[in-house]
Amino acid sequence: MKKLVGLLMIGALLALGACGGNSEAGDSEKETVTIGYFPNLNHAPAMIAKQKEMYKDHLGDHVNVEYKTFPDGSTFMKALASGDIQGGLVGPGPAMNSFISGVDVQVIAASSTGGTVIVSRNGSGIKSWKDIKGKTFITPRVGCTHDVQFETYMKEKGITRKKMGGSMKHVTGAPARYQSMFEKGDVDVAAAPEPWASVMEEKVDANVVIPTSEVAFGQTLPAAVFVTSSDMAENSSEQMQKLIDAHKEAVAYINNNPDEAIDITINSIADITGQELENSVIENAWKRTNFTYQVNEEAIQEFGNSSHDLQFLKEKPDFTGFVNKEFIQ
C-alpha cells in the first residue's frame, strides 16, 4: 500500500512538473516585436506609445513588445534589414537611401512634419545664409534628412559643400552633442532636429539662421516615418495594422494632450540621453513640429530628386512601392 501511495505521489509530481514546463514553454513561445526610434522630438509618438503601452494593448498578451533607440538613421536601417527590429520611426532620408539600395523597406505612416532648424554658433559671425559660405556645418549623417534639407536650401542660394566644388566643410555627429561642439567652437552651423535646436538657443545662445518654415521641405516632408519591411506588411498584415492603429492613437494623444505629451517626451529623452530638458525648451520645439500620420508622397519624391542633385544618389530615384498607405486609410 505504501509503495502504491509513493508511486501515485511521484506521478502527481511529474504531472505538476509537466504542467509547469508547458507554462514556461508557452511564455517562451511568445512572439517578440521590437520597435526602434530616436531621442528626437519628432519621434514623440513612439515615446508616448511606449509609456502608455499602446503597442502592447493593440498587439495583445501573446506578443512581447521591446524597444531599441538609435543615434542615427544608418544604424536604424541596418537593424531593420537584419531583423533586429520589426519597424519603427526613422527620418525619410535613410529610409529612401536604403530602398534605392535594394533594402526591403516600406513607409507605412508618417509621424510628424517640421522640426528641422538651421542654427549658427554665437560668435561665428553668421547672421544669415549669406554668411555660411566657407563655414563648417554639422548634420547627424551624410545625406540624412536634415543634411538634404539644409544643402538643398543652400544650393538654391549658390553655396555648396567642398565635395561638390563649394566652400562649406561638412562634419557629422549625434544631435545631442551639438551643444558641446558649439561651445568648443568645432562647428559654425548645425542642421538640427528638434529639440536640439531649441536646446542650443537656450543653452549657448545659438542663432536661428533658417527657420523650419523656410528650410527646404520644412513643412511638407515627413520629419519621421514609420517603416517596416514589405515582407512584414504583406505576411503579417494583421499585426502591422495593430501597430499602426497604436501609432495613430499616439499621434492623436499628442495632439489632444500636449502638456502631458511634453512631460513624457522630456522624461523619455532624459532616460535615453541623460539630458533632462526644460519645459521651455520642449515647448519652443513643439511649436515647430506638427504631429501627423499622413504621408505626402509628392514631397518624398521631390526630396529624393534633391538627394540626387546633391550627389548623395547616383541615379534619380524611383519610389514605386516605397509608400504603402493601406494601413492608415
Consecutive H or E run containing 63 = strand 63-69
SS3 136: strand
Which residue bears the cell 499616439?
250
Quote the cell numbers at residue 107: 513607409
pLDDT at 15 over 80: no
DSSP for 279-315, written as a single string: HHHHHHHHTTEEE-----HHHHHHHHHHHHHTTSSSS
How many angstroms separate the CA atoms of 24 and 168, rounded?
A: 59
Percent of the chain with pLDDT over 70: 91
Instruction: Return left, alpha or beta for 83; rule: phi > 0 is left, psi -120 to 50 is alpha, else beta.
Output: left
Domains assigned to the chain: 32-113+220-310 (3.40.190.10), 116-210 (3.40.190.10)
Is the pLDDT assigned to residue 6 strictly greater than 50? no
C-alpha span between 180 and 185 (Å, rounded): 9
Judge whether residue 117 has pLDDT over 50.
Answer: yes
Burial class (CB in 10 A: 0-12, 13-18, 19+), 131: middle
pLDDT in tens, 286-319: 999 999 999 999 999 999 999 999 999 988 999 9
Residue-wise pLDDT for 270-294, tens only, equals 999 998 889 999 999 999 999 999 9
* pTM higher than the cut 0.85: no
What is the structure's pLDDT at 28?
A: 58
Q: What is the mean pLDDT of residues 6-33?
A: 50
Q: What percent of the chain has a predicted confidence (pLDDT) above 90?
A: 84
